[in-house]
């Protein structure tokens, strides 16, 4: 159990460090718990529809859009149109998002 808590603490510190680095690059970064949860949701699926994320994360529609728009501004994911239903928005991790996920995984596996 102690190792799990240490790993979780390490992941939280990693998000905090990413927040500081992004601010240093001039990006408007304020990573909140819902941003972390939303990032990990998309990361666990590799790609997802925004409507599914809204339902699964139990967020209001406006909050869902603001949360994912913020992650998009940070460069961690893209919001595109679903190829099967043009009305739906598809969420995918970018290469920066995948790199950050790989770093998080490294922190968890230590």
- The pLDDT tens digits of the residues spanning 37-50 come to 999 999 999 889 99
Give me the pLDDT at residue 2, please. Answer: 63
Give me the pLDDT at residue 16, please. Answer: 81
Looking up tokens 């998309």 gives 42
What are the structural domains, with CATH classification, of the chain?
Answer: 2-109 (1.10.10.10)
Looking up tokens 């595109």 gives 80
Nearest-angstrom CA–CA distance, 40 and 82 = 20
- Span 87-96, mean pLDDT? 94
Q: What is the 3-state secondary structure (H, E, C) of the chain?
A: CHHHHHHHHHHHHHHHHHHHHHHHCCCCCCCCHHHHHHHHHHHHHCEEEHHHHHHHHCCCHHHHHHHHHHHHHCCCEEEEECCCCCCCEEEEECHHHHHHHHHHHHHHHC
């Amino acid at each position: 159990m102690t190792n799990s808590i240490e790993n979780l603490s390490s992941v939280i510190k990693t998000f905090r460090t990413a927040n500081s680095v992004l601010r240093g690059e001039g990006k408007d970064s304020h990573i909140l718990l819902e941003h972390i949860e939303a990032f990990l949701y998309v990361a666990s699926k590799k790609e997802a529809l925004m409507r599914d994320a809204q339902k699964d994360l139990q967020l209001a529609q406006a909050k869902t859009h603001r949360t994912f728009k913020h992650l998009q501004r940070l460069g961690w994911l893209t919001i595109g149109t679903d190829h099967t239903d043009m009305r739906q928005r598809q969420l995918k991790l970018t290469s920066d998002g995948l790199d950050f996920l790989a770093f998080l995984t490294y922190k968890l596996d230590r």
